[in-house]
Amino acid sequence: MLLLPKFDYYEPREMSEALKLMSKMKTSAKIIAGGTDVLVNMKKGLISPKSLVNVARISELSDVEPSNGTISIGSGLIVEKLTEFDIIKKKLPILFKAARVLGSPLVRNRATIGGNIVTARPAADLPPALLAVDAKLKLVGAKSSREVSLDKFFIGPGQTVIKPTEILSRIIIKELPPFTGGDYIKLGHRNALEIAIVAVASRITLDSPDGVIKEARIILSAVAPKAIHAVSAEKALKGEKPTAKLFEKVAKLAAGDCAPITDIRGGAEYRRAMVAALTKKTLMNALNEAKGK
Amino acid sequence: MKQIITLTVNKEIYEIAVAPNRTLTQALREDLNLLGTKEGCGIGDCGACTVILDGRPVNSCLILAVQANGSEITTIEGVANGRDLHPLQEAFVEHGAIQCGFCTPGMVLSAKSLIEKNQNPTELEIREALSGNLCRCTGYQKIVEAVKIASENMKK
């Protein structure tokens, strides 16, 4: 049996109380919500925080708030609930798709959207989908709070710009324009309980159902120290008429935009080839969704 | 320092003192002596420790007992009605869905959560619902069949 080391445990009910605790204890404390990552790392002996601050009982962290053109998701919302809220299914289907393939049903019932972001794992499922819709994060500190775009949040594996005294409170997404479609595909060795070998999230917005591509995002995951934009591929889509031929060309560019490594889950060359295949596939599905098919 | 927590387990209320570093699996097995909940991997991969917590199946090895304070929990001991087995348990026994039995409590609880939400699960839905529960005897086919049969029996 894997045992947990000893620690002090705090369970604030209010955000202000949690922030006070974190500004006092700083790096000696870790925030816990679902615990599906923190407790695994503690059991494996990778981390041994002196204290755990459980934020799961702060009710304001686990709601979804649609308000004038934005959707604001509390960081403590469990992943399974992302698949249950109608507003997510309708307005952010790409996030719904990513949430459906995270871990197992048992993990999805505990893991939170905030946890899947702040742990900054290179193969995490929600960040690619959130990057594809230009999500912003609200980071709250005891004295001030700030908004950071998700694009500027990750530094590398396990590393982000969040300060030890700050708490991620909300994930904020602007409602997407009409004629927008997206898709997230994760490639694993099996269909469940899997860490991605490669995953791609694509989103395109057309200027009209039969028009040109106004905006494009292609996010590549598990092929770099953090989820990245396929920069040249995104550029090549902009202003163009979407066709299978264009997507073919763009898929090749995306394969050149990433820097995969060889590890136990897959070889670098294989990963690069799969980036091309998944880019094309996600773009085709995104196009169909954008056209309302 | 130990904390006093209240758990409603299988409809009975328990008040226990636990150290913060004890998992819900440990509290159920060692403090409440409910040994039906198993610990396999201890890191949320195998699902042997599955319990239903406030209506959702979860890995109890990745939940601190103090985090579960005030919750309602169903373990495998709470599934049968006295000596009458639950239709799922009956189907598991009847249709050879139990081999060594270590994964069975978790399988039954994940399946029970599914059937309570969805009375007509398809084979794919059953496989998805059980995807966090590993069987090392590799008896998945029989397990999936047993869940399907139980869901049909429960409608009769």
DSSP secondary structure code for residue B28 in this structure: I
Give the per-residue pLDDT at B155.
87
Are A150 and A70 part of one and the same domain?
A: yes
A3 found inside a domain = no
Q: Say what percent of chain B tops pLDDT 90.
A: 97
Are A24 and A80 part of one and the same domain?
A: no
Domain of A110: which CATH number? 3.30.465.10
Q: Dig out the tokens for A206 from the structure.
A: 């057309």
pLDDT tier, A112 (very low <50, low <70, confident <90, very high otherwise): very high
Are A46 and A90 part of one and the same domain?
A: no
Are B101 and B143 part of one and the same domain?
A: yes
Residue of A nearest to B38 (CA): A1
Q: Is the pLDDT of residue A194 over 90?
A: no
Q: Which residues of A198-228 are buried (b: 16+ CB within 10 A; e: fewer)?
A: bbbbbbbbbeeeeeebbbbbbbbbbbbebbb
Q: Dig out the tokens for B110 from the structure.
A: 């994940």
Is the confidence metric ipTM above 0.85 for this complex? yes
Are A152 and A192 part of one and the same domain?
A: no
Q: Dig out the tokens for A113 from the structure.
A: 């959207």
In tens, the pLDDT along B123-145 reads 999 999 999 999 999 789 999 99
Q: Do residues A150 and A93 make contact, with C-beta atoms less than 8 angstroms apart?
A: no
Tokens 């609200």 belong to which residue?
A: A138
Question: Among residues A129, A154, A174, which one ends one of the domains?
Answer: A174
Q: Is the pLDDT of residue A144 over 80?
A: yes
Domain count, chain A: 3
Indicate the pTM of the whole model.
Answer: 0.95
Give the per-residue pLDDT at A265.
85
The CA distance from A54 to A140, in Å, is 16
DSSP secondary structure code for residue A217 in this structure: E
Are A85 and A153 part of one and the same domain?
A: yes
Q: How far B80 CA lies from chain A's nearest CA (Å)?
A: 22
Which residues, numbered 102 to 161 in chain A, qualify as contacts with chain B under a Cβ-Cβ cut-off of 8 Å? Answer: 103-107, 109-110
Q: How many CA atoms lie within 13 A of A16 on its CB side?
A: 0
Across the strands, what pairs with B58?
B51
The CA distance from A136 to B7, in Å, is 38
Give the per-residue pLDDT at A25.
97
Are B120 and B58 part of one and the same domain?
A: no
Look at residue A22 and give its three-state secondary structure: helix
Mean predicted lDDT score pLDDT of chain A: 95
pLDDT tier, B91 (very low <50, low <70, confident <90, very high otherwise): very high
Q: Do A56 and B67 touch (CB under 8 A)?
A: yes
Question: Among residues B25, B46, B78, which one ends one of the domains?
Answer: B78
Q: Dig out the tokens for A58 from the structure.
A: 């702060």
pLDDT tier, A196 (very low <50, low <70, confident <90, very high otherwise): confident
The domain of B112 spans 87-153
Q: How far A145 CA lies from chain B's nearest CA (Å)?
A: 27
Q: Is the pLDDT of residue A191 over 80?
A: no
Burial class (CB in 10 A: 0-12, 13-18, 19+), B95: middle
Which residues, numbered 33 to 52 in chain B, qualify as contacts with chain A under a Cβ-Cβ cut-off of 8 Å? Answer: 39, 42-45, 47, 50
Contact list in A for residue B22 (CB cut-off 8 A) is 4
Is A192 an interface residue toward B (CB < 8 Å)?
yes
Are B67 and B121 part of one and the same domain?
A: no
Q: Do A105 and B44 touch (CB under 8 A)?
A: no
The residues, ordered by sequence, that sit 6+ positions from B83 with a Cβ below 8 Å of its Cβ are: none
Question: Given B50, B63, B132, which is nearest A193 (Cβ)?
Answer: B132
Are B73 and B95 part of one and the same domain?
A: no
Are A263 and A185 part of one and the same domain?
A: yes
Tokens 């469940």 belong to which residue?
A: A192
Q: Do A193 and B131 touch (CB under 8 A)?
A: yes
In tens, the pLDDT along B1-47 reads 899 999 999 999 999 999 999 999 999 999 999 999 999 999 999 99
Domain of B24: which CATH number? 3.10.20.30
Domain of A244: which CATH number? 3.30.390.50
The CA distance from A192 to A102, in Å, is 8
Q: Do B59 and A54 touch (CB under 8 A)?
A: no
Question: Among residues B78, B110, B136, which one ends one of the domains?
Answer: B78
Are B103 and B142 part of one and the same domain?
A: yes
Give the per-residue pLDDT at A270.
94
In tens, the pLDDT along A75-86 reads 999 999 999 999
Domain count, chain B: 2
Are B99 and B71 part of one and the same domain?
A: no
The domain of A205 spans 180-290
Are A213 and A112 part of one and the same domain?
A: no
Residue of B nearest to A104 (CA): B132
Are B144 and B106 part of one and the same domain?
A: yes
